[in-house]
């Protein structure tokens, strides 16, 4: 019995013939093209336009594991193995010549994963000069407001959406029949609005006044909607000094602790107006915030013909992705999404490839290749009050001294599990991550009569992922 390789090859010029209305999918992301392959499926909500840390490659091919795929560019692996659902670089569509997807029965040249093998083959220069330019744009002026935005008191405006994608490519001969160059550039500039919703204290509660929110010495919290028939959730509010009923922190002997007053500034005040039909709104805080998202890629490839039987190419790709503050609601891990203290995310990535190909006689070919791929994830504090964390720690000494922490006193705010259903306060910044992958391959192929013999070797080295988690998960009672 024998098995044959199941492989789909799609040429960029032919994409419009296989189902796409234009050769430019949504968001100018090649991931959208992989879904043209029969048997490709994704989970609900999969975003084919996102790149960088918001992008994803968790696609199931022929029922395989979504995070078991290998993505390569000209044979160089680009998977970020930290999550195995993102990749280092997203080749610009204007730089792609074709891509191949092998889904089962792989040949000896494939490996490194048990899922699909997706290889993007990029364009190279020729004896003729060619170039391209493109621009695509979107604007919320063409959008209608959503149901939930219109049915909130006060009514929320349409989330902002400004997207501008532009770039181009250029290639040709430096020396005819000998040396060729190809380059492409792409910019994505986007401002994306999203609805931030949570359960937060009222302005009076944040100021320490519980007079209007107490019942027999209990703080009433709208975690359960009264109209649902469930009891309103409440819990005792007492003065820790004498265990008496507490209605206003300002009336106590101790008053507000300096650190406690600062921690309350991490919360935005509830702003959804209760109504007779909904006296206990949940969530009680809603705000549409606009997030800046920027992406840039540069790509340069040079091909050199050494002689009739030997040629080589070297290629460099640089990706740069940034999400500023305020962050997108629910888009990144470790963030509460509140505007006071938020995080700026940046991911620069690099890909370097060198290949030497030699034809041996009339029946054999040998390819040697070296590649480097890596990225950095840098998260720094931002928001409307980026120094609030340092102010908190000036009044709240951690259990473990700053001298024992990676970044000293430069910490994220304390992790605070809100009582009674209030949303958790947490931020991941400052935080850093690093990954570097080095790969050497050598493939030899020879035709002997009616048979083809192929043999090869792969050596891979991945530098340790270095994570500097600069957080202080300090549980506090204030």
Give the pLDDT score at 467: 60
- Asked whether the predicted pLDDT for residue 310 surpasses 90, the reply is yes
- Per-residue pLDDT band at 468 (split at 50, 70, 90): low
Give the pLDDT score at 217: 41
- Per-residue pLDDT band at 466 (split at 50, 70, 90): low
- Per-residue pLDDT band at 241 (split at 50, 70, 90): confident
Three-state SS annotation for 325-336: CCCCCCCCCCCC
- Per-residue pLDDT band at 50 (split at 50, 70, 90): confident
- Asked whether the predicted pLDDT for residue 242 surpasses 80, the reply is no
- Asked whether the predicted pLDDT for residue 274 surpasses 80, the reply is no
pLDDT per residue as tens digits for the range 60-79: 888 878 888 889 999 899 99
- Per-residue pLDDT band at 352 (split at 50, 70, 90): very high
Give the pLDDT score at 11: 57
Give the pLDDT score at 309: 92
Considering 23-37, 166-180, 390-404, the range whose residues carry the highest mean pLDDT is 166-180
Q: Which range (80-89, 134-143, 247-256, 378-387) has the least confidence?
A: 247-256
- Asked whether the predicted pLDDT for residue 182 surpasses 90, the reply is yes
pLDDT per residue as tens digits for the range 198-235: 888 888 888 887 766 544 444 455 544 444 455 555 55
Task: Count Cβ atoms within 10 A of the Cβ of residue 353 and give its class: 0-12 exposed, 13-18 middle, 19 or more buried.
Answer: buried
pLDDT (average), residues 164-173? 93
Considering 92-101, 212-221, 305-314, 428-437, the range whose residues carry the highest mean pLDDT is 305-314
pLDDT (average), residues 412-423? 74
- Per-residue pLDDT band at 17 (split at 50, 70, 90): very low
- Asked whether the predicted pLDDT for residue 114 surpasses 90, the reply is no
147: left (phi over 0), alpha (psi -120 to 50) or beta: alpha
Q: Which range (168-177, 330-339, 355-364) has the least confidence?
A: 330-339
pLDDT (average), residues 404-422? 75
pLDDT (average), residues 457-475? 66
C-alpha span between 451 and 363 (Å, rounded): 11
C-alpha span between 168 and 450 (Å, rounded): 45
* Residue 108 per-residue DSSP state: T
User: What is the share, in percent, of the chain residues with pLDDT greater than 90?
Assistant: 27
- Asked whether the predicted pLDDT for residue 88 surpasses 80, the reply is yes
Give the pLDDT score at 188: 92
- Asked whether the predicted pLDDT for residue 316 surpasses 90, the reply is yes
Give the pLDDT score at 215: 47
User: What is the share, in percent, of the chain residues with pLDDT greater than 70?
Assistant: 82
Give the pLDDT score at 24: 54
- Per-residue pLDDT band at 418 (split at 50, 70, 90): low
Give the pLDDT score at 12: 56
Contact 428, 269 (CB under 8 A): no
pLDDT (average), residues 8-16? 55
- Per-residue pLDDT band at 359 (split at 50, 70, 90): very high
Number of H helices, E strands in the chain: 5, 21
- Asked whether the predicted pLDDT for residue 473 surpasses 50, the reply is no
Contact 82, 465 (CB under 8 A): yes
Give the pLDDT score at 39: 83
User: Which H/E stretch holds residue 260?
Assistant: helix 258-264
Task: Count Cβ atoms within 10 A of the Cβ of residue 91 and give its class: 0-12 exposed, 13-18 middle, 19 or more buried.
Answer: buried
Give the pLDDT score at 354: 97
Give the pLDDT score at 1: 34
pLDDT (average), residues 163-187? 94
pLDDT (average), residues 254-266? 85
Could you give the dihedral angle defined by the CA atoms of residues 270, 272, 274 and 275, in that order, rounded to the nearest 10 degrees?
180
The pairing of strands 60-61 and 431-448 is unpaired
Average confidence score pLDDT of the chain: 80
Give the pLDDT score at 355: 96
Domains belonging to the chain, first-starting first, are: 6-122 (2.170.130.10), 130-198+287-469 (no CATH), 203-268 (no CATH)
Q: Which range (84-98, 142-156, 443-457) has the least confidence?
A: 142-156
């Amino acid at each position: 019995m024998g098995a044959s390789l199941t492989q789909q090859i799609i040429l960029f010029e032919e994409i419009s013939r296989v189902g796409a209305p234009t050769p430019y999918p949504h968001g100018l992301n090649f991931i959208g093209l992989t879904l043209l392959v029969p048997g490709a499926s994704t989970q609900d909500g999969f975003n084919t336009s996102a790149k960088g840390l918001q992008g994803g490659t968790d696609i199931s091919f022929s029922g395989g594991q979504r995070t078991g795929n290998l993505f390569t560019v000209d044979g160089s692996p680009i998977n970020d193995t930290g999550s195995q659902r993102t990749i280092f670089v997203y080749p610009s569509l204007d730089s792609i010549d074709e891509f191949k997807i092998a889904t089962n029965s792989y040949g000896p040249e494939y490996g490194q994963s048990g899922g699909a093998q997706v290889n993007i083959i990029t364009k190279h220069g020729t004896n003729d000069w060619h170039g391209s330019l493109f621009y695509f744009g979107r604007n919320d002026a063409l959008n209608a407001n959503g149901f939930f935005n219109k049915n909130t008191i006060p009514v929320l405006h349409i989330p902002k959406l400004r997207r501008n994608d532009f770039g181009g490519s250029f290639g040709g001969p430096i020396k005819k029949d000998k040396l060729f160059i190809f380059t492409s550039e792409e910019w994505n500039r986007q401002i994306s609005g999203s609805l931030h919703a949570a359960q937060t204290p009222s302005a009076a509660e944040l100021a320490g006044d519980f007079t209007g929110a107490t019942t027999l010495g209990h703080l009433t919290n709208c975690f359960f909607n009264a109209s649902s028939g469930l009891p309103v959730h409440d819990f005792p509010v007492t003065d820790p000094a004498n265990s008496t009923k507490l209605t206003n922190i300002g009336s106590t002997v101790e008053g507000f602790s300096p650190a406690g007053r600062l921690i309350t500034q991490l919360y935005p005040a509830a702003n959804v107006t209760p109504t007779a039909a909904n006296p206990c709104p949940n969530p009680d805080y809603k705000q549409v915030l606009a997030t800046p998202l920027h992406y840039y890629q540069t790509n340069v490839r040079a091909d050199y013909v050494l002689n009739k039987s030997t040629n080589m190419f070297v290629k460099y790709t640089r990706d740069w992705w940034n999400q500023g503050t305020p962050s997108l609601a629910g888009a990144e891990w470790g963030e509460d999404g509140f505007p006071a203290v938020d995080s700026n995310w940046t991911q620069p990535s690099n890909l370097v490839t060198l290949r030497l190909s030699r034809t041996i006689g009339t029946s054999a070919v040998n390819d040697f290749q070296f590649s480097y791929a890596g990225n950095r994830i840098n998260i720094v504090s931002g928001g409307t009050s980026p120094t609030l964390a340092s102010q908190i720690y000036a009044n709240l000494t951690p259990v473990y001294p700053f001298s024992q922490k990676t970044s000293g006193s430069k910490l994220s705010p304390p992790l605070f599990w809100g009582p009674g259903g209030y949303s958790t306060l947490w931020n991941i910044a400052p935080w850093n991550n690093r990954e570097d992958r080095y790969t050497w391959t050598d493939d030899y192929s020879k035709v002997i009569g009616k048979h083809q013999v192929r043999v090869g070797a792969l050596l891979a080295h991945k530098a340790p992922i270095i994570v500097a988690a600069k957080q202080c998960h300090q549980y506090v009672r204030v």
